[in-house]
Amino acid sequence: MSWQAYVDTSLVASGNIDKAAIFNSEGSSVWASSSGFTIKPEEIKAVVTSFDDKSTVKKVQSEGFHIATEKFFTLKSDERSLYGKKGKEGVVIVKTLQAILVAHYPESVQAGVAANTVEQLADYLISVSY
């Protein structure tokens, strides 16, 4: 399956995600993206930095983060996952061995349902060494 197919079929077609992107694990290359879902280099760099931040209170937890120019309040941040919320919509970002999945969910989807969709794809990619 192509990276674009993972975005279109595994994430967006689930109905739980309305737009998504997949980057390499360093955040320096976009492998696939929903049309119009543009994440700035400095935004993905901040995400990558958050995965490596070992502080008691991470910068991303105290300041939030931006994806596609929208600011999100941090709900969860650890070495694998970064969840954010803005009003009733949000983002779920998960790092695998070689990729970073960035998925946006609309107001009509519960955060937990969106997180499960993205985390399951991440688990699959890890199981096949990606």
For residue range 79-101, what is the model confidence (pLDDT) as tens digits?
Answer: 999 999 999 999 999 999 999 99
Confidence of residue 57 (pLDDT cuts 50, 70, 90): confident
pLDDT value at 1 more than 80? no
Sign of CA dihedral 10, 13, 18, 20: positive
**Using CA atoms, how far apart are residues 21 and 23, in angstroms rounded to an integer?**
7
pLDDT of residue 40: 97
For residue range 100-121, what is the model confidence (pLDDT) as tens digits?
Answer: 999 999 999 999 999 999 999 9
Which of these, 99, 116, 114, 76, lies nearest to 23 by C-alpha position? Answer: 99
pLDDT of residue 78: 93
pLDDT value at 56 more than 90? no
Amino acid at 124: Y
User: pTM of the entire structure?
Assistant: 0.95
